[in-house]
A and B are shown apart, each in its own frame.
Chain A
């Protein structure tokens, strides 16, 4: 069965303290891997799509990378506004837009 596992469950960072979140997956053929950000009481907000091993995407202080079995979301010099839950999701062939989400990593950045 396809699985998506995120670690750690929670992460507390000081402002400026860089760190990485992990998303490991076991799927039968990966069509795409997606990162979303979710603020409390809000819907998830799309961040990145990665399609193949070795691919990297960047947006402000966030950088996502992909290998054959996992993806990392690197947060460089985070600010308090980066506090959120970060969700990883995978899409497999013939699944249309159906995404399988991980449980998320809750990130808190303190000043």
Chain B
């Protein structure tokens, strides 16, 4: 158990819909990262927050947005869903080091299926 909690574990929805994925980082970790894993793209970095502020952005679509709340939990919002958005979405957290740590603790992921 990594200590990172993600909900829901599974989600099935229809094209055009909007969903919210939730992540609680390990106790004491200030950084939260979101990654997308699909069969054809592998593990892709989406976005990182550090203590409530956006720190780094990857190939995140404009239809996707995220935020980190004062209690440090994070939410990833996916809207106008398309079939290609079906994937595993992982949240990870890391210890509060300056510059960011590459030692990430991943949650078990949220599997999104868009029909």
A45 & B56 in contact (Cβ 8 Å cutoff)? no
Instruction: Write out the residue numbers on chain A whose beta carbons fall within 8 Å of the beta carbon of B20.
Output: none
Provide the residues of chain B in CB contact with A43, threshold 8 Å.
Answer: 2, 4, 90, 92, 106-109
Report if A97-B43 is in contact (Cβ < 8 Å); known contacts: A46-B104, A89-B102.
no
Stretch at the interface among B61-69, B78-86, B93-101: B93-101
CB of B31 to closest CB in A, whole Å: 6
- Contact status A97-B42, CB under 8 Å: no
B71 within 8 A of A: no
How far, in angstroms, from A11 to B11 measured CA to CA in the complex?
32
The total of chain B residues at the interface (CB under 8 A) is 27
> How many cross-chain pairs have Cβ atoms below 8 Å apart between A and B?
69
Stretch of A21-29, A58-66, A74-82, A100-108 lying at the B interface: A100-108
CB-based contact A98/B92 at 8 Å:
no
Q: Is the CB of A97 within 8 A of B109?
A: no
What is the interface of chain B mostly: helix, strand, loop, or mixed? strand
> Is B74 engaged at the interface, CB distance under 8 Å to the other chain?
no
* A31 CB–B CB distance under 8 Å: yes
Given A42-B108, A44-B43: A96 touches B99 (CB 8 Å cut-off)? yes
A95 touching B43 by the CB < 8 A rule? no
Q: What residues on A are CB-neighbors of B42 within 8 Å?
A: 101-104
- CB of A98 within 8 A of CB of B43, answer no
Q: Which residues of B sit under 8 angstroms from A45, Cβ to Cβ?
A: 2, 106
Give A residues with C-beta under 8 Å from B.
Answer: 31-32, 34, 41-46, 49, 87, 89, 91, 95-104
